[in-house]
Amino acid sequence: MEAGGDPVDEEVTAGGRGVLAGAFALLAVLARGDGPVGLSELARRAGVPKPTAHRLLTQLAALGAVERHGDRYVVGRLVAVLGGAWRPYPGLRDAIAPVARKLAAVTGAPVAGVCLDAERRERLIACSGDMLPRMNALGFNSIVPEDAASKLLLKCFDAAETEAPLSRLEWRRVRASVSDRGFLVASHTEPSAVRCVAAPVFAPDGRVVAVVSTMVPGTRLPSSVPDTLVQAATDVGRRLGPVR
């Protein structure tokens, strides 16, 4: 009991963890995007006793934080709404969204804004055109595995980056190419040929806080696309203010 206040819920799970931590552990498993997960597997992966997991999931479902489909669970709309409020850099999403829409209209190609989250994973923070169907249950915070150019470009400027998947020499070459041209190109051949192009978004302090990327079908990249993309990324950077 807090002095002069309401009782504090000090209930813990059998593993000695607080109930709130247990609930977030369950949500974290679902948020990995591996598809619907059954109760037993979900409890095991979250490290929460099965009876406790069942009770927590029932409460989370009542709140809209998870959804139950048969005997399996997925992330609910409430988490998507909360996740949509996450801001990797102040004003970034508001700055990048209109630029992405305009660029998609000009190029006729899908456009996305991508950044790294606290766990060094790529996160979609704005999209336009055909990018929309690729969003999973986490909405604008869904991970974007298809865009190789964004992945490499973000890692180029990530101080926490390890050598994988490239060697140090290869990373230096990629960084030099980006510094020289202002963009990065990567190719996909499966399920169909696609050229991915990404350009860095610089914050006022010089840090790369996101990338703007587009995907062009086919093996040939129109010469106007890279320059248009670089200009779009520059426009996003100009819209950003300093962190206060």
Q: Read off the pLDDT of residues 105-119 as tens digits, 9 standing for 90 and up.
A: 888 877 888 776 665
Q: What is the pLDDT at residue 57?
A: 94
pLDDT tens digit string along 6-57?
333 334 444 445 788 889 899 888 877 667 899 999 999 999 999 999 999 9
pLDDT-above-90 percentage for the chain: 14
Q: In terms of CATH architecture, what is 86-239? A: 2-Layer Sandwich (3.30)
Q: What is the pLDDT at residue 94?
A: 82
Q: What is the pLDDT at residue 54?
A: 94
Helices (H), 139-215: 148-156, 168-181
The continuous run of DSSP H or E covering 80 comes out as helix 77-84
Least confident of 91-95, 177-181, 223-227: 177-181
Q: What is the pLDDT at residue 59?
A: 93
Q: What mean pLDDT, rounded, does the chain reach?
A: 73
Instruction: Give the mean pLDDT of 72-81.
Output: 83
Q: What is the pLDDT at residue 192?
A: 61
pLDDT tens digit string along 97-106?
888 888 888 8
On the 0-12 / 13-18 / 19+ scale of CB atoms within 10 A, 47 is: middle
pLDDT tens digit string along 134-155?
443 333 334 344 455 666 666 6
First-last CA distance in the chain = 37
Judged by DSSP in three states, 160 sits in coil
Is the predicted pLDDT of residue 195 greater than 70, yes or no? yes
Q: What is the pLDDT at residue 137?
A: 34
Domain range list for the chain: 19-81, 86-239
The residues facing 66 across adjacent strands are 75
Sheet of strand 122-128, all strands in order from the earlier edge strand to the far edge = 122-128, 111-116, 208-217, 194-202, 184-188
Is the predicted pLDDT of residue 61 greater than 80, yes or no? yes
Is the predicted pLDDT of residue 65 greater than 80, yes or no? yes
How far is residue 216's CA from residue 147's CA, in Å, rounded to a whole number? 11
Q: What is the pLDDT at residue 142?
A: 40
How far is residue 159's CA from residue 207's CA, in Å, rounded to a whole number? 11
pLDDT-above-70 percentage for the chain: 65
φ and ψ at residue 194, rounded to 5 degrees: -145, 140
- State yes or no: cis peptide before 88, omega within 30 of 0: no
Which CATH number is 19-81 given?
1.10.10.10
How far is residue 135's CA from residue 100's CA, in Å, rounded to a whole number? 16
How far is residue 178's CA from residue 137's CA, in Å, rounded to a whole number? 33
Q: What is the pLDDT at residue 72?
A: 92
Q: What is the pLDDT at residue 138?
A: 32
Q: What is the pLDDT at residue 180?
A: 76
Q: What is the pLDDT at residue 52?
A: 92
Instruction: Give the mean pLDDT of 74-82.
Output: 79
Establish whether domains 19-81 and 86-239 are of one fold.
no
Structure tokens at 32: 């990995």
How far is residue 126's CA from residue 141's CA, in Å, rounded to a whole number? 9
How far is residue 66's CA from residue 64's CA, in Å, rounded to a whole number? 5
Q: Residues with Cβ < 8 Å from 244, sequence gap 6 or more?
A: 90
Q: What is the pLDDT at residue 66?
A: 92
Sheet of strand 72-75, all strands in order from the earlier edge strand to the far edge = 37-38, 72-75, 66-69
